[in-house]
Structure 1
Amino acid sequence: MFALGLVPQARPPDIEPPPYSDFPHTAHARRSDAQLSRVRDFLDNPKRPAGLDERQWIAFYKYATLFMLDSAGKLWRHKEGGAHRLVIPEERRPSILVEMHDRTGHRGLFATRAFVCDRFWWPQMGSDIDWYVHTCHMCQIRQVVRIHIPPIVPEPTAPMYFAHARCATTSWVEGRALLSETARTLGEWLFQDIICRWNALSEIVTDNGAPWVAACTYLADKYHLHHIRVSGYNSQANGIVERPHFNVRDALFKATEGDGMHWHSSVHTVLWADRTSVCRRLGCSPFFAVTGSHPILPLDFKEATYLVGPPEGILTTEELIALRATALQKRADAVDCLRSAVYAQRLQEAEDFESCNRATTRDFDAQPGSLVLTCNTAIEKSLNRKMRAQYLSPYLVVSRNRGGAYILSELDGAVFDRPIAVFRVLPYLTRRDPIAFQPNVLDTDSRRIRELEASTDKGDGIADAEMAEADR
C-alpha cells in the first residue's frame, strides 16, 4: 500500500507594508485623492456640488463619468472592454503592492505594474509602483547592474627618481625613470634591464642607500653577486658611474630645452645617445665596444646629414649627447602619423564605449551620510553565486579620498580599512528618512580618516600602506 500526502509548504513570512504617508506624493496626486471623495459622494447622491462655477462643474461631471459605484458601495474605474478596475483607498494601497510584488516572486517593474494596473486603479499609481519596486531591499541586493565609469585617462604621475648603472669595462649605460626609490622598484629594474639582458653579474658596486642595499642583497644571495658598498665619505670609489651621471643629468635637462619637469620623456633618447657617443678613454662608442658594429641613427635612414643645425665650435661631451638626443627626437613625420591614427582609434573606442554603456555610465556622487550598496565581489568568480546577494547593504558614506574612491562604514560606525571603488557602489534607496550622519559615532579617530582621505587608492588594488610595507 502507498500513502499519498502533500509536502508541507513553508508559510511565507509576514511582511509589514510601509505606511502610505511614506510614499512620495506630488501636489497633483493629493488633489486627485481629494477629488475621489467628492466623486464618490456625487455618485451616491447625484447633486451638483456647491461652490463650482459652470466651467468647473462641466470638468467635474466629465471626470465623474469615468467612475461607477456598485451596490456594495465599491468605486470602480471604467475601462474599455468591460474590464473595470477597482479604486483602492489610500490605506489599502501599500498592502496591494506587497501582495502584487513581494508575494509574486519580486518581479520587476513591468510585471508588477501589469499585475496592479489590470485589476486596480488610484491616482498616480504608476509613480507609487515605481517607488515601491525601486526601494525593495531584496530587489536591490539581488540586482545585476554594473556601473561603468567614464573612459577618462588620468594624467600619469611624473617619475621622481632616475636609476643609473654603467658597465666598468665598456661604459654601457642602463637607466630607468622610477616613481619611487624602493627595494622593490630597484630590484625589478636590476633584474629586468641588467640580469635578464646581460646575464648574471660577477660584481656590483653601489652606494650605501637602504633601498640599494636591500635590493642588491637579495640579488646577491639569489644570483651569487659580489656586492660592494662604498661609504658615504668615499663616493669616488664608484666614480665610474658617479662622474658620467653628471653628464646624463645635464643631457636630460638640455634635451628637454630646459623643461626640468618633463625630463623623463627624454630618458630613452639620452641613454641611446650616450651609448652611441664615442668615449674618450675607449676611442669608440660603448655601442661599438659591446656589439662590434657602429650604430645606425635615424638620420642614416633619412639622409646622410644631421637633422639639427651644425655646431659652431668644439662641443663638450654633455652638449654632444644633448645634440644627438635632440636628433633622435626628430622622427616627427612617422611618429605624428602613428600618433594621429592611435588617437583617432582611442576617440572612436571611447565614443563606442559611451554609446554602449550610456545607461549605466553614471556618477552618483554619494554625499557623506548617504546609504549605499557595495558589489559583492567575493562571489564574482564563484560557481554557486546564483543564490547569493549581488550587492551587500547598507553602508554609510563617510567621505571620498583623493583617488575618488568611497570611504564607508557599517551602520554601527565601524570604518572600512580601505576605500571602495566608485564603480562598485550604488545608492541605496530607503523608504524612510535618511540617517543623520554623525562623525563622532565612528570607531576610527580623525587622524586615520585623514590618512584614508589623502590616499590615492582607487579601491581596486592594494592599499597604499600595504604597498609601502611590501616595498620595505
Structure 2
Amino acid sequence: MQSILNLHRGVARDDFSGWPETVGLVKLTEKAVSEWFTSEWICRYGSPKEVTVDGGPEFGKEAQDAVKKAGSRIRVKTPYYPESQGMVERGHKQLKDSLVKMCGENGGKWKKYLPLVTLSDRKSTKRTTGFSPFEIQFGQLPVLPIDIETKTFLAVEWHKISTTEESMEARAKQLEGKEEMRRKAAEKLKKSREDSMKYWDRRMANQLI
C-alpha cells in the first residue's frame, strides 16, 4: 500500500500476468483492505493459491483471516526490503509516477485518474513476460474507442457471426492464441526471474547477512 495526500492507493497484482487491481481508500485499515480484497479479487477471479503482503499494519490479523478464509496461503514479506517483491514493487512505482504526471500540480485529482492509469498498466507490455497483463489475461489486446472508430482487427464484428459453428471457430482461435501467448510469457518470465536471482546473488556475495 502507498499513500498520496493522506489518501491511500491499494494495489493487488497477479504474480504471473502482472494484472493489477487498484482502489483509493480514505482510511487504510485492516477492515477496508480485507473487504476490498474479497469484493474486487476473490469475487472476480476466485481464490489465488497464495497471497504475498508487505507486512504493513494494514495486513494484520483481520486482513490475513480474510485471505485464509478464501482458502489461500499467505506470505508476509518485510516492508523494509521491497526488492523481495520484484514486479509488484516496480509496478507500484510506475503507477505512482504516472499518477503524479497526470495530476500535475493538482495532486488531489489522483483518485480520478487512478482507473485510467490502471488501464494503461494493464495494456502496457512487461519486460518480464514480453506481453501486457491484458493480453495474458484475455488472449488479445484491449479494444479501445479508436479501434472501433477505425475498425482495426481488434474490433471483432461478432454481430456478423450468424451460426454456432462460426462462433465456436472464432472463440477457439482466440483461446488457441491465448494458450500460446501464456506459454511464451511463462518461458520469458522464468528466464527473467533466473537472471534476477543471479544478479542478486552476485550483488550479495560479498555482504554479510
- Helix, strand or coil at the partner of 1:281: coil
Cα distance change, pair 215–274 in 1 and its aligned pair in 2 (3 A): farther
Match of 2:144 in 1: 297
Q: CA deviation at 1:274?
A: 0.7
Cα distance change, pair 258–215 in 1 and its aligned pair in 2 (3 A): farther
Match of 2:95 in 1: 248
Match of 1:169 in 2: 16
* Equivalent position to 2:33, from 186, 191, 201: 186
Confirm or deny that 1:216 pairs with 2:63. Answer: yes
- CA deviations over 1:209-234 (Å, ceiling 9, x no partner): 12212343212331222111112333
Normalising by structure 2, report the TM-score: 0.65
Match of 1:273 in 2: 120
Write the distance in 2 (CA, Å) between the matches of 1:246 and 1:234: 15
Q: Kindly report which structure 2 residues correspond to 1:80-99, keeping only aligned pairs within 5 A, or say none.
A: none
Write the distance in 1 (CA, Å) between the matches of 2:32 and 2:137: 26
Match of 1:195 in 2: 42
- Helix, strand or coil at the partner of 1:174: strand
- Helix, strand or coil at the partner of 1:191: helix
Match of 1:81 in 2: none
Count of aligned positions: 148
Write the distance in 1 (CA, Å) between the matches of 2:67 and 2:115: 28
Write the distance in 1 (CA, Å) between the matches of 2:51 and 2:59: 11
Q: Is the 8 A contact 2:8 2:27 kept in 1?
A: yes
* CA RMSD of superposed structures (Å): 2.0
Q: CA deviation at 1:269?
A: 0.6
Q: Is the 8 A contact 2:11 2:92 kept in 1?
A: yes
Q: Kindly report which structure 2 residues correspond to 1:436-447, keeping only aligned pairs within 5 A, or say none.
A: none
Q: CA deviation at 1:178?
A: 0.5
- CA deviations over 1:178-234 (Å, ceiling 9, x no partner): 101001110111001111111011111111112212343212331222111112333
Q: Is the 8 A contact 2:8 2:24 kept in 1?
A: yes
Write the distance in 2 (CA, Å) between the matches of 1:159 and 1:300: 38
* Equivalent position to 2:83, from 236, 239, 260: 236
Match of 1:206 in 2: 53
Write the distance in 2 (CA, Å) between the matches of 1:223 and 1:194: 11
- 2:61 partner letter: A
Q: CA deviation at 1:303?
A: 4.2
Q: Is the 8 A contact 1:186 1:215 kept in 2?
A: no
Q: CA deviation at 1:259?
A: 2.1
* Equivalent position to 2:111, from 258, 261, 264: 264
Higher relative contact order (CA 8 A, sep 6+): 2
Write the distance in 2 (CA, Å) between the matches of 1:219 and 1:290: 25
- Helix, strand or coil at the partner of 1:262: helix
Q: Is the 8 A contact 1:216 1:227 kept in 2?
A: no
**Max Rg structure:** 1
* Equivalent position to 1:287, from 107, 127, 134: 134
Q: Is the 8 A contact 1:202 1:226 kept in 2?
A: yes
Match of 2:190 in 1: none
The structure that is helix-richer by fraction is: 2
Question: Sequence identity of aligned pairs in percent?
Answer: 28
Q: Kindly report which structure 2 residues correspond to 1:15-414, keeping only aligned pairs within 5 A, or say none.
A: 160-303=7-150
Query: Structure 1: which 5+ runs fail to align?
Result: 1-157, 306-472
Q: Is the 8 A contact 2:135 2:141 kept in 1?
A: yes
Q: Is the 8 A contact 2:68 2:74 kept in 1?
A: no
Write the distance in 1 (CA, Å) between the matches of 2:68 and 2:13: 21
- Helix, strand or coil at the partner of 1:180: coil
